[in-house]
Amino acid sequence: MGFMKRIVVWWALLQGLLSLAQAQGVAVSAALSLEHNQLLPDEKMYLKLTIENRSGQDLMLGATSDWITFTVQGEKNSMVPEVGTNHVYIEGETTVPPGLTASRDFNLTPYFDFRQPGHYTVKATVKFPQWPQGLAVTPVSFSIVNGIRLANQPPGPVGVTLLHGPGNQPPPTRNYILEKSDDLGSMKLYVRLTDASSGQTVRLVPLGLYFSYSEPDVKLDRFNDLHVLHQTDAKAFSYCVIDTLGQILERRTYQYTDKRPALQADGAGGVAVAGGTRVVSASDLPPPERQPAATPVNASFPGSRPGQDK
């Protein structure tokens, strides 16, 4: 590195330290936190920014489109490129009174290309309208790991029944791929929806905890919706219905009783859960308060389709 280049680098570092010192002098702190520190490629990132205001003044968040800027560093401090021209921005202004805290949620996955396995660090700078300097946020780190494909995969490819091709062309086709990952000893199950022609991921759908000693039960109905019944612990099972757009149409919990729950297909292209006992849960889709009267567990649903609740 040449002499002049060293001077530029050191000057930039000095300016950053001065800005941080000035921002910290107004008694405002900010930190990032992640719900999960290990993600699969294309998995949604649940990132939370928390700001504590001890400045004695009201703070305004979101006043301009550049009120917060993110950078992501990969292995060996390499900068992760942004995807397209979109910038991470959540509309809406928020006032943080003195002595209080406020938080904003972000998802960086659509905006940065961190799909290769490795270790990454997220950094951010927050700007407030009343002060020219920015506040450097405490960074957070995470890892990207590849999922492991399960042995029993749904048949495919399947047509996207909700979309039509241009003119007389057939609709686009998708593949459902079941994957699992081990996050610090906690096994999780996912459905990766990919474009059948390009192999690109359309959406990664997390299905929750996975009891890996029991293979999931998977079936397609006549709408090409994927039904997945998988065990989450010694007695509990989770049942999900995912459509060809990657939306979760239905989610239920079942308990192992005298008979193990299993997926059952009928002759009309319907799929239902047979056996076990349903347990109403707050995570159900549709939510419990929006569901119709209970249907017998062993019933099937020819010609019916769950509501499209995300």
Give the domain-ending residue among 144, 168, 203: 144
Cβ neighbourhood burial of 261 (10 Å; 0-12, 13-18, 19+)? buried
For residue 6, pLDDT over 90 is answered with: no
- Tell me, yes or no, whether 173 and 62 share the same domain: no
Task: Say if 265 falls within a structural domain.
Answer: yes
Q: How far is CA 112 from the centre of its chain?
A: 14
pLDDT band at 14 (very low <50, low <70, confident <90, very high): very low
What's the CA gap between 212 and 206, in Å, rounded? 15
pLDDT tens profile 49-82: 999 999 898 998 888 888 899 999 999 889 999 9
Higher pLDDT, 278 or 87: 278
Is 44 a domain residue?
Answer: yes
pLDDT at 3: 45
Residue 19 lies in a domain: no
> Is residue 254's pLDDT more than 90?
yes
When mean pLDDT is compared across 10-19, 87-96, 126-135, 182-191, the lowest value belongs to: 10-19
Segment (H or E) for 288: none
Read off the pLDDT of each residue in 203-223 and give the average, rounded to a whole number.
93
Calculate mean pLDDT across residues 113-126.
95
Residue after which a domain boundary falls, among 91, 125, 144: 144
Quote the percentage of the chain above a pLDDT of 70.
Answer: 80
What range defines the domain where residue 210 resides? 148-290
Is residue 212 located within the same domain as residue 115? no
Helix (H, G, I), strand (E, B) or coil at 203: strand
Please tell me the total count of domains within the chain. Answer: 2
- What six digits make up the tokens of 71? 């950078």
Mean pLDDT on 259-271: 92
